[in-house]
Amino acid sequence: MNKLPLRNNRSSPIAQRLNEKQPGRSTVPATAGQGVVEYMLVIGLMVGIVVASLALTGVSIGDVFSQMSAQLQGDVTPVYTPPPTPEAITVSVVNAQGTGIPNVMVYAFTARGRYLGRGGRTDEAGIIHFADFDAGDYLFRADFQRKHFWSDQITRPTQAYARIQTGQRPFSVKVVDAAGGGIPNVRVYAFTGRGRYIGVGGRTGADGIVVFDLADGDYKFRADYQ
């Protein structure tokens, strides 16, 4: 039995006919761009599945990326340290018994006596609050009955309270006739030792006496009678 020698089948008529295009069929060569598009479609499908799964579990995609970023970069969030907040100072103006005096003007000064441009009136309890004071030494002055009354020096931030003692206490004035008997219903006014009216006045009672609440100091009194 004779063996036929093998030849390159590409040159044979049968191979040539097999390699020819068959009617009704076309051959489209695959390109690199087509492969990239198919790859992106697969990736997009996977991302869609992941997002849908996260939505079902209640986790947002932003949270996932934040956690991934934190794990990759570490905790790089800066720690915010707020600046020190200036403290408020409470000032009370009191009488000799330590009871607060309302409606008294109070002013703030440095320890060297420089006015800080800040002031206000005490409330019904004789208290006023000064906010936003930096560290330092301060004095406070109450202007009461035409006189100045000062607090002791306080130092911020170790101290936040100042007290101004006026020494105010009851003082009786009696209006009498030549025989020394009290004269009722007489109008009486109080003045400083230099003659300045302090805004305090009243009428004598049946015994000819009127009582004023006066701070420490020198006074004169005037009775307007007949």
Number of domains in the chain: 2
Structure token pair of residue 165? 């003692």
pLDDT in tens, 29-65: 555 556 655 666 666 666 666 556 655 555 555 565 5
153 and 184 share a domain?
A: no
Q: Are residues 152 and 174 in the same domain?
A: no
> Does any domain span residue 185?
yes
What percent of the chain shows pLDDT beyond 70?
62
Last residue of a domain, one of 118, 133, 165: 165
Residue 22 phi, psi (nearest 5): -85, 145
Q: What is the CATH number of the domain that holds 131?
A: 2.60.40.1120
Q: How far is CA 221 from CA 52, 168, 169, 189, 191, in A?
A: 92, 17, 16, 6, 6
pLDDT at 14: 46
CB distance 145 to 212 below 8 Å: no
User: Do residues 180 and 129 share a domain?
Assistant: no
117 in a domain, yes or no? yes
In-domain check, residue 16: no
In a domain, 40, yes or no: no
- Structure confidence by residue, pLDDT tens digits, 178-222: 999 999 999 999 999 999 999 999 999 999 999 999 999 999 999
Answer with the residue of higher pLDDT: 214 or 2: 214
Give how far the C-alpha of residue 101 lies from the chain's centroid of Cα atoms, to the nearest Å. Answer: 30
Provide the token pair at 110: 């440095």
Asked which of 145, 165, 185 is the last residue of a domain, the reply is 165
In a domain, 131, yes or no: yes
User: Which amino acid makes up residue 6?
Assistant: L
* Helix/strand/coil percent split, the chain, to 5: 20, 35, 40
Q: What is the domain range of residue 177?
A: 169-224
Are 98 and 155 members of one domain?
Answer: yes
C-beta atoms surrounding 64 within 10 Å: 13
Which of 209, 215, 214, 213 has the alpha carbon at shortest distance from 223?
209
91 has a pLDDT exceeding 50: yes
Give the per-residue pLDDT at 18: 45
Among the candidates 147, 165, 183, a domain finishes at: 165
Q: Say whether pLDDT at 154 is over 60.
A: yes
**104 pLDDT tier (thresholds 50, 70, 90):** very high
| pLDDT for the residue numbered 132 | 85
Regarding whether 136 and 102 lie in a shared domain, the answer is yes
Amino acid symbol at 36: V
The CATH number of residue 208's host domain is 2.60.40.10
Mean pLDDT of 113-124: 97
Q: CA 18 to CA 14: how far, in whole Å?
A: 6
Is 119 within the bounds of a domain?
yes
Task: Using the predicted structure, report yes or no on whether residue 137 has a pLDDT greater than 50.
Answer: yes
